[in-house]
Amino acid sequence: MRIGTTLTNYIIQNQRHIDGATGEFTGLLNDIAVACKKIADLVNKGALVNVLGATDSQNVQGETQKKLDVISNELMIEALRHNGHIAALASEEMDSVYHLPANAPRGKYLLLCDPLDGSSNIDINVSVGTIFSILKAPEGVANPTEQDFLRPGTEQVAAGYCLYGPSTMLVLTTGNGVSMFTLDRDFGEFLLTENNVTIPAETKEFAINTSYQRFWDAPVRRYIDECLQGADGPRKKNFNMRWVASMVAEVHRILTRGGIFLYPCNSQLRAAGKTGKLRLMYEANPMAFIVEQAAGGAIDGQQRILDIAPDEIHQRIPVILGSRSEVELVQDYCRSGKA
């Protein structure tokens, strides 16, 4: 598709090729884009509109919510609840599934989202993002339950994220490659700036929070240790390292120039009764879909993330994603359990 095409045009043109398309999917993506533009505006204005800092509430995961976490969640709901494009919504910031008002028309999609990912970066003016995942709703169910959301990532109809960085960018897959759109603030529209995004298979850059090093399992320790040995070690090349602490920014970097991102489980998380840090439904699945559509890999260590059958909506899992050959190497180490 032509570079410079608006997101709306892009979606309409893509939908023409889908049998039985009614325009509802176009409407849904437009709703999401509207919410993202509003969030982008607030992130951009920051302290000027008093949206920085924490609230005194916690989310279901026991994390203190930032003001912008709560506001972004409200903006997503506001953009979607009366338009008839979704049947229900689930969010990292809400304990349970959000049901539409009784009088609101029901659509045929389920939306899952992390309204503002990378919360620890909000107050320090570093990139944050919104992540979303779209599933088909079960037919004839007015108020879908949590059970209806528990589908493996392979069933996602679309997934994407909006990165609030120096530029605001919306990155989208509908299962037919990955496209990037940049927000033209004068124009108020997301315009296509890159099509058929492909992650290079090889890389020399890794991203992991090394402050947890003493809690890592042996396979992760081995992989990172070999990267750090650089040209003197078994990898025979020097590696660079990055850690933004915003998954959206890390994935965006990997889509742009390759790399591997690891947020493994570790003994500290396990001691706290957790199975990982990142959430399967709001973070891992949509990012895995995008990364795979860009020729990369995404695993939990042992298996492909998209194949995981979820047990519960706020489930956490280990995430390793990025350049395919690196992800496969980590998987080999994890499967053989070698130190």
Among 26, 65, 73, 119, binds ligand AHM (CB under 6 A): 119
Question: Of the two residues 11 and 254, which places its CB atom closer to ligand AHM in the complex?
Answer: 254
CA-closest candidate to residue 110, choices 72, 180, 61, 159 = 159
The first and second tokens of residue 79, run together, are 């953009």
Is the Cβ–Cβ distance between 148 and 132 less than 8 Å?
no
> Would you count residue 93 as binding ligand AHM (CB under 6 A)?
no
**Distance of alpha carbon 17 from alpha carbon 316, whole angstroms:** 36
Residue that is written with structure tokens 């204005």 in the block: 45
Query: Between residue 204 and residue 243, which ones bind ligand AHM under the rule CB under 6 A?
Result: 209
76-84, 145-153, 245-253, 326-334 -> range binding ligand AHM (CB under 6 A): 245-253
Give residue number: closest CB to ligand AHM: 247
3-class state of residue 39 by DSSP: helix
**What does the DSSP assignment read for 232-283?**
GSTT-S--EE---S-HHHHHHHHHHH--EEEE---HHHHHTT-S-SEEIIII
Residue 69 binding Mg ion, by CB under 5 A: no
Pick one of 114, 148, 205, 326: the residue that binds Mg ion (CB under 5 A). 114
> Is residue 117 at the binding interface for Mg ion, with CB under 5 A as the rule?
yes
The piece of 107-115, 133-141, 257-265, 292-300 that touches Mg ion (CB under 5 A) is: 107-115
Measured from the Cβ of residue 96, the count of other Cβ atoms closer than 10 Å reads 12
Please report, as residue ranges, which positions from 21 to 80 form the binding site for ligand AHM (by CB under 6 A).
63
Q: Nearest distance from residue 119's CB to ligand AHM, in Å?
A: 4
- 130-149: contacts with Mg ion (CB under 5 A): none
Using CB under 5 A, which of the segments 83-91, 113-121, 183-191, 301-309 binds Mg ion? 113-121
The rounded distance, in Å, linking the Cα atoms of 15 and 30 is 13
Pairing of β 86-91 and β 109-117: parallel
Shortest separation between residue 209's beta carbon and ligand AHM, angstroms: 4
Q: Is 247 in the site for ligand AHM (CB under 6 A)?
A: yes
Query: Which residues, in sequence order, are CB contacts of 103 under 8 Å at separation 6+?
Result: none
Out of 246, 266, 285, 331, the residue judged to bind ligand AHM by CB under 6 A = 246
- Residues contributing to the site for ligand AHM (CB under 6 A): 63, 92, 114, 117-120, 209, 245-247, 263, 277
